[in-house]
Structure 1
Amino acid sequence: MFLAMMDWAPTFATVVAVPGWDDRLEDLSVDGQAALRARLADILSRVDGSDEDQVAKDVIRHQATSIINLIDARLVEHSVARGLNAPVAALLRMASQVDFSRRLHLVPRFLDQAAQRLRDTDRRPLRRHVQGGAAHVERFLASPKQEWEGDADLRPAFAKYREFLLSVEGRDDEHAGLCWLPDGEENYRKLVRDYTTAPYTPAELHQLGLDLIAGLHEEYATIGSRVWGTADVPEIFRRLRTDLLWANEDEMLTSAVETVARAEAEAPNWFGRLPRARCEVRFVPEMDRQAAAFAYYVDAALDGSRPGIYFVNPFNATDRSRTLSEVTAFHEAIPGHHFQLSIAAETSLSNLRKFAFIDSYIEGWGLYTERLADEMGLYSSDEARLGMLGLDAMRAGRLVVDTGLHALGWSRQQAVDYLRENTVMDASEIDSEVDRYIETPGQALAYMVGRLEIQRVRADAETKMGARFDVRAFHDLVLENGAVPLSTLGDLVTDWAGRA
């Protein structure tokens, strides 16, 4: 199964320094993906009779099924801007992060495959995404030749792809979600199940998001009263958008470095096992800043050749709230994804278990650590805690907006309006987030669903174990088993609590 996973995502294999895929690029062709799908279906047919343990079988089933469903949804045919499934944007984002020297000759074919899938599809991307994808490539073409390009002459192939994009007739913003595309409703139900690994329907997730947003308003009022003497949530939102902005880019980077260092110092009191890999903080490369998220993490290399890297995006820094700095660092770096991914990679688990793509676990842990950081005493102020609520509201809003777009038929503007009213994100962040949800259906649901489940199994263990509960041992258990479906995580914690 692991070989099939890396064939699906060979650039990721290079990111984590798993040898054997450094001369490969993702195969976007219909025939290539059909062949991989057949391999995965065969793996699924044999998993029950294998000698793998139950946890490994659960992971194999999830990985095979989720890749099959991504192939069947044909997301590559309508993801061209910045979504996680947008192949050309992903290539440009990762090219400067990994060794591309042995795969440079494949880039023109990769671009041709991306164009061919768009040319032959019955599910066009949004018009604005076509324009955004073309603009992203244009920025690359206008930039000086970059080190990763080596001696290869790749610019003509990118220029050809850009010209093709400009010829694509995209669909309008009123029909943004999967429900407007062939087989879209069924594809979305499968993606929801794969990304959440939980038995929620889109309607149930939509209502869960609405309920969580209502509860967050009460927390905003409580902390807002302490900070500004007002419990009026719209006024708190206004002040968060206008009063607490960065003075400059350097201030943003300094805050991130200090926050990561503070979390690293406190971590031994909450974790028995700490990663050997270090975590560095860097700015997002300049060419990627306009299209990139405001922060993200790249895994440390398995062979120790590269640390984990927490990237901070200074784009439009002086228009962004300082309050989001600490909570984002806790999520992306320490004790979030850096601990999660590095600890799993440093165990004796199989590569399948170390590197499984299970978003509800991965992103659920990241979101769990945002609240855990408050338990750990890591937030420096109530203003920073308002940032914690801000990202909570974003993730709760995702439940409402993702399901609204893809199951309820919302327009893009409906999604923008909802987030504007119920989160403190600025206009550019909301635009970026909504476009991501449109191009990566269901993925945004994983964060809050995963966090709620980790909190639930921890609370159950605390109740069952009483004074015997050790939070360091609980965190070690969750991280040392690698990424698993949420139901499997629940079984592991229940068994641990019973044995303890």
Structure 2
Amino acid sequence: MVWEDLMSLADEMFQAMMDSSPLSAAMFGLPGWDDQLEDLSVESEQAMRARIAGILSRVETSDEDPVTLAVIRQQGQAIIDRTDARLVEHTVAQGLAAPVNGLLMIATKVDVSQRLDKFPRYIRQAGQRLRESDRRPLQRHVEAGVERVQAFLDSPAQPWEGDHSGEIRAAVAEFRDVLASIEDGRGDEHAGLCWLPEGEENYRKLARNYTTTDRTPDELHRLGLDLIAGLREEYAEIGSRLWGTSDVPEIFRRLRTELLWDNEDQMVESAVEAIARAQAEAPNWFGRMPKSECQVRLVDEAGRSTAPIAFYMPAAQDGSRPGIYWLNPLGATERSRTLSEATAFHEAVPGHHYQVSIAADMDMHEMRRFAFIEAYLEGWGLYTERLADEMGLYSSDEQRLGMLGLDAMRASRLVVDTGIHAFGWSRQQAIDYLRENTVMAEPEIISEIDRYIEMPGQALAYMVGRLEILRIRAEAETKLGDRFDIRAFHDLVVGSGAVPLSTLDQIVTAWADAP
């Protein structure tokens, strides 16, 4: 395949990626899709699937740019597999994954003024897909979805609604009625994809796409169990140093009950201070620096009941919006403050903010700069939580215990995500596993499990990605010895854009083998 043909295919794939998710373009601040909104109809979905399949059918082997070729293949197959899983028909409650809830969340954070006329169609299409599907959502998620949209309807009109408030709210009310009419939703004991038509096969495909590996659900499940066992030894080591006890249940008890936030302000102050330390130390570990700044903001009150505890939104490419680290203060006084610094390092600096912002500044095809490959993206975020310890960023052993706490959560995700979707675990079984093996507070446990149920496979990406980056780094260090430059390694990883893990391995191997 010649260079011109490959770039043409990359152009087509990027256009298709953004056409299939115009709100992603909005979050990146990319022009050209400002008046667009995804069409959720089955006909439109299948037309997009055929369009993607047509692009992939013209992909050939190329020595010109194998990285771009790999990203084209991965992004296209991911869209096809997620379309085939028909997640839109049973995802109604949690965060950005639920179409209507996600739309209402994003509308408060990006400029949606030019696409407001399309909101009613989108919302009604989401309701139609629910009505006509043979895949039922979890009944408790139906009830949570009703509460969420009712809260929106009960609230005063928000500025973003503009002159379309009446039509939008009428459509939301119709969607609420569709949800409220569902009385045959799945029970908690049938929480996973394996209980739905083609569910086991769909989950295998989603696991492959989210991890960019061929690891089976069984292999991923056993990996999580092994990691949890190893983390208990680290808990005991730090617990002995900090509190004079190596008893892991006692360490968990103290983390859950004694080290909580007093108020929301403390959460914000801790995040701001951690990010400032990271930015000051980063030049010793990175050669490239992002052009955009990273700000810390609180999730608005209306969105706190369904938003994750923390998340990152990339800076707009036109400079109109900085990178934003969003904190959700809901239930702050019930949460362990030890998770604060590790989460800030993961979501902001040197995690997603450096990763996304530096790649966006690179001279590479747009498809690579804005590809959404979870194993790379979240693997890097989790990698930076341990990197932060190497950088000397944690302020105390308490915060290092928080680092372990997040490690345990991500290792547990391998166990419970596969447990729910491949092995038929009940929702309660998954909750109990997190209670026993993590220090997460009860509100976080409930939120996490409900997220895994509605985003099958996504939770697998974090730990698989981190372990692969660590393996790739270790092999490069062995090859290069004293010539290994950690700054150059990090610049290479974040400067390559989002890529499948096998492709990242090839990129770093070529760098390490170069004379």
TM-score (norm 2): 0.96
Contact 1:131 1:166 in 2 (8 A): yes
1:406 to 398, 414, 421: 421
Amino acid at match of 1:165: L
Letter of the 1:195 counterpart: Y
1:163 aligns with 2:177: yes
Q: Counterpart in 1 of 2:24?
A: 12
* 1:139-190 C-alpha deviation (Å, 9 max, x unpaired): 1112221111112122121111111110012110111101110000000010
Q: What residue in structure 2 maps to residue 74 of structure 1?
A: 86
| Cross-structure match for 1:29 | 41
Task: Identify the match of residue 342 of structure 2 among 300, 324, 327.
Answer: 327
**How far off its partner does 1:50 sit?**
7.2
CA offset at residue 19 of structure 1?
Answer: 1.0
1:85 to 89, 97, 112: 97
- The DSSP-based 3-state class of the residue aligned with 2:40 is coil
Moved more, 367-376 or 288-297: 288-297
Deviation at 1:84, TM superposition (A): 4.3
What corresponds to 2:194 in structure 1?
A: 179
CA distance in 1, matches of 2:50, 2:432: 42
Is the CA contact (8 Å cut-off) linking 2:67 and 2:503 kept in structure 1? yes
CA distance, structure 2, for counterparts of residue 219 and residue 70 of structure 1: 37
Matched, 1:94 2:106: yes
Give the whole-Å Cα distance in 2 for the aligned partners of 1:49 and 1:192. 25
Q: 2:67 aligns with which of 48, 55, 70?
A: 55
Counterpart code for 2:475: D
How far the C-alpha of 1:83 sits from its partner, in A, is 5.0
Name which of 135, 145, 163 aligns with 1:151.
163
Distance 1:49 1:404 in 2: 37
Deviant stretches of 4+, over 2 Å: 49-52
- 8 Å CA contact 2:293–2:322 kept in 1: the answer is yes
Question: Does the 8 Å contact 2:331/2:443 carry over to 1?
Answer: no
Q: Distance in 2 between matches of 1:309 and 1:80?
A: 26
The counterpart of 2:360, out of the listed 345, 367, 373, is 345
Equivalent pair of 2:298/2:328 in contact (CA under 8 Å): yes
Cross-structure match for 2:494: 479
Structure 1 distance, partners of 2:339, 2:463, is 17
Q: Look up the SS of the partner of 2:186 in the other structure.
A: coil
Give the deviation of 1:305 after TM superposition: 1.1
Matches within 5 A, 1:382-401: 382-401=397-416
Given the alignment, which residue of 112, 123, 132 partners 2:144? 132
Which piece of structure 1 moves more, 384-393 or 152-161?
Answer: 152-161
Cα distance in 2, alignment partners of residues 450 and 84 from structure 1 = 22
- Structure 2, unaligned stretches of length 5 or more? 1-12
Number of aligned residue pairs: give it: 500
Q: For residues 109 and 350 of structure 1, what CA distance do their matches in structure 2 show?
A: 33
Q: What CA deviation, in whole Å up to 9, does each residue of 1:259-278 have, x standing for no partner?
A: 11110000000000000100
Task: Name the counterpart of 2:271.
Answer: 256
Distance 2:316 2:359 in 1: 12
Q: Which residue identity lines up with residue 287 of structure 1 in the other structure?
A: A
SS in 2 for 1:418: helix
SS in 2 for 1:323: helix
How far apart are 1:12 and its partner, in Å? 1.1
The residue that corresponds to 1:430 in the other structure is 445
Partner of 2:388 in structure 1? 373
Instruction: Name 1:114's counterpart in structure 2.
Output: 126
Q: What SS does the aligned partner of 1:348 have?
A: coil
Superimposed CA distance per residue, residues 243-294 of structure 1 (whole angstroms, 9 cap, x where no aligned partner): 0011111111111111111100000000000001000001111111111111
Cα distance in 1 for partners of 2:492, 2:102 equals 33
Q: What TM-score do you get using the length of structure 1 for normalisation?
A: 0.99
2:464 aligned with 1:449: yes
In the alignment, does 2:482 pair up with 1:467?
yes
CA deviations 1:343-374 (Å, max 9, x no partner) are 00011111100010100000000000000000
Contact 2:211/2:375 (8 A) holds in 1: yes
Matched, 1:301 2:313: no
Contact 2:95 2:307 in 1 (8 A): no
Distance 1:445 1:41 in 2: 26
Cα distance in 2 for partners of 1:52, 1:139 equals: 53
Change in Cα spacing, 1:52 to 1:304, as seen in structure 2 (3 Å) is farther
- The aligned residue for residue 7 of structure 2 is none
Structure 1 SS opposite 2:163: coil
Aligned twin of 2:221: 206
1:289–1:314 CA contact under 8 A, matched in 2: yes
Q: Give the letter aligned to residue 434 of structure 2.
A: L
Q: Does 1:43 align with 2:55?
A: yes
CA root-mean-square deviation: 1.0
Over 3 Å counting, the alpha-carbon distance change for 1:208 and 1:51 in structure 2 is closer
8 Å CA contact retained: 2:96, 2:105: no
Q: Which amino acid aligns with 1:432?
A: S
Q: CA deviation at 1:85?
A: 2.6
SS of aligned partner of 1:311: strand
Fraction of identical pairs, as percent: 68
Q: The residue matched to 2:325 in structure 1 has which SS? A: strand
Structure 2 counterpart of 1:208, one-letter code:
L
The code of the aligned residue for 1:164 comes to: V
Letter in 2 for 1:155: R
How far apart are the structure 1 equivalents of 2:288 and 2:18? 28
